Amino acid sequence: MEFKKFYNLLSWELKQSSLEDHDSNYEYINFDDAMYYTNECIKELVEMNGNPFTTEEDFSFPEVTTIYRLPDMYNSASGYFFNDQWFKISDSSDQYARVRCINDRDLIFNPAIQVGEKITMRVVKYPADICTGSDSVVFPPQFQRLLRLHIANRVMGRKGKEMAQRITIEYERLLARWQLYGKTVKTSSFMQFGGYGFGR
């Protein structure tokens, strides 16, 4: 969906969110603010559940690398490809793992990655920021209503207001669905997770 269409729906839904409280001060959001909130709220929802935005990408290194921070376009890394199979990235307590995480974006390689070496990793990648009205809103279609309600919740919350109760209930239901979306575990494609769970 193009952002300009998304914006029109958002404006209408923001008005609906406040109608039951008879509060006309929060019925409008300007185009630029809406674009900012949309970009920020997509990132927030990806952080809650990155599964729909998981992709496999090759990373190359211009120098010997032991500690590596994923660029800002990535939320986290969950796996890497080595010896023709996928492995989960271990947490920081597993001192012998080939790749382990300090946190979502900081990784340790053991042994160090050499100059020119490549590694394929499974990563959660944020959609590109929306910059114009003709840009697409990259978010699962069945959850775009959730995205708009998430934005409405942020906008009204900044003003010390709450959404109408029936819309809050719908928002919480959609949010719970989103947090479970795409979380089917494919145990056959990964080896057992290493470490004791201290690293994330």
- Which amino acid, residue 14? L
**What's residue 9's pLDDT?**
93
Give per-residue pLDDT as tens, 87-138: 999 887 888 889 999 998 999 999 999 998 999 999 999 999 999 999 999 9
Q: Is residue 46 part of a domain?
A: yes
Which residues form the domain of 46?
3-50+129-180
Q: Is residue 200 part of a domain?
A: no
What value does the CA radius of gyration of the chain take, rounded to a whole number of Å? Answer: 20
Give per-residue pLDDT as tens, 22-73: 454 545 789 999 999 999 999 999 999 999 999 999 999 989 999 999 999 9
Indicate whether 59 and 42 sit together in one domain.
no
Indicate whether 71 and 121 sit together in one domain.
yes
Which neighbouring-strand residues pair with 109?
99
Q: Is residue 195 part of a domain?
A: no
Q: Is residue 199 part of a domain?
A: no
**HEC assignment per residue over the chain:** CEHHHHHHHHHHHHHHHHHCCCCHHHCCCCHHHHHHHHHHHHHHHHHHCCHHHEEEEEEECCCCEEEEECCCCEEEEEEEEECCEEEECEECCCCCCCEEECCCCEEEEEEEECCCCEEEEEEEECCCCCCCCCCECCCCHHHHHHHHHHHHHHHHHHCCCCCCHHHHHHHHHHHHHHHHCCCCCCHHHCCCCCCCCCCC
Indicate whether 39 and 133 sit together in one domain.
yes
Read off the pLDDT band of 182 (50, 70, 90): confident
% pLDDT > 90, the chain? 66
Q: Give the Cβ contact number of residue 115 at 10 Å.
A: 11
Which neighbouring-strand residues pair with 118?
60
Indicate whether 87 and 99 sit together in one domain.
yes
Give per-residue pLDDT as tens, 121-132: 999 999 999 999
Stretch 156-178: mean pLDDT: 89
**What's residue 185's pLDDT?**
45
Q: Is residue 165 part of a domain?
A: yes
Total tally of structural domains belonging to the chain: 2
Q: For residue 177, give both structure tokens.
A: 């669905």
Indicate whether 39 and 59 sit together in one domain.
no
Sheet (strand 90-91) strand order: 65-69, 106-113, 99-101, 90-91
Indicate whether 143 and 166 sit together in one domain.
yes
Indicate whether 46 and 64 sit together in one domain.
no
The β-bridge relationship of strands 65-69 and 106-113 is antiparallel
Q: Give the Cβ contact number of residue 147 at 10 Å.
A: 22
Q: Which of 57, 41, 60 is nearest to 113 (CA)?
A: 60
